[in-house]
Amino acid sequence: MKIKLLMASAILGAGLLGAQANEFKTYKDITKVLKAENKKAGNFATADEVKAALDAKDWIVADVRTIEEWNAAHLKGSVRVGRQAPEEFLESNVLDLDGNFVKQNMIVVCNSASRASIEAETFRKMGFKTVKIYDIYSWIDECNPVQTGYSKKSDKSGTKNKFGAFYAEHCYKK
């Protein structure tokens, strides 16, 4: 009983002195804030900026989705960067042999820009000059093509169509 009273007193005392416990923030809460900050700062890329980055020598378009999401649909010319150790992959794609940036600008892609917002924070701290975010849903909705990693050989239940560029169903004229 004495311990409970001491603990209660300590908690109340800490509260009176202005010390408060950290508030838990959900992934959804964090990404909502980061997406809003990126939008306000002008860090949301447009489809035209993504297209230009895919063709530019000093830009990299990095997809931070899972391998399954990547295989289902990705932007041709983008690279998949795993979230476990992104620096290892990026070092071999954006730095020269002396460790200098060859591609110092980046667009980070994921489904809804939530993961991209979180990863963009890390990439900025890694030293990239410009880091923008983009959601693949917008790319698809604007009738831009996506690639797939699946093939007739590995997916026997497929429709036997030729694989390559795919568009959202609403993009095909009926």
Pairing state between β 79-80 and 105-110: unpaired
pLDDT of the chain, 174 residues: tens digit per residue: 444 433 344 344 444 444 456 899 998 999 999 999 999 999 999 999 999 999 999 999 999 999 889 888 999 999 999 877 777 788 888 989 898 899 999 999 999 999 999 999 999 999 999 999 999 999 999 999 998 876 655 555 555 554 567 888 888 875
For residues 137 and 116, give the distance between their C-alpha atoms in angstroms, rounded to a whole number: 13
CATH of the domain at 64: 3.40.250.10
Domain range enclosing 130: 31-161
* DSSP-derived secondary structure for 72-131: H-B-TT-EE--SSSHHHHHHHHHB-TTS-BS--EEEEEESSSHHHHHHHHHHHHTT-SEE
Give the pLDDT of residue 11.
41
- For the record, the structure tokens of 39 come out as 């939008």
For residues 167 and 150, give the distance between their C-alpha atoms in angstroms, rounded to a whole number: 15
For residues 85 and 93, give the distance between their C-alpha atoms in angstroms, rounded to a whole number: 14
User: Residue 129 domain-assigned?
Assistant: yes
User: Residue 124 domain-assigned?
Assistant: yes
User: Residue 168 domain-assigned?
Assistant: no
User: Residue 113 domain-assigned?
Assistant: yes
User: Residue 166 domain-assigned?
Assistant: no
Number of structural domains the chain divides into: 1
Decide: residue 122, CB within 10 A, 0-12 exposed, 13-18 middle, 19+ buried.
middle
User: Residue 15 domain-assigned?
Assistant: no
User: Residue 55 domain-assigned?
Assistant: yes
User: Residue 174 domain-assigned?
Assistant: no
- For the record, the structure tokens of 140 come out as 């698809």
Do 123 and 108 touch, CB atoms closer than 8 A? yes
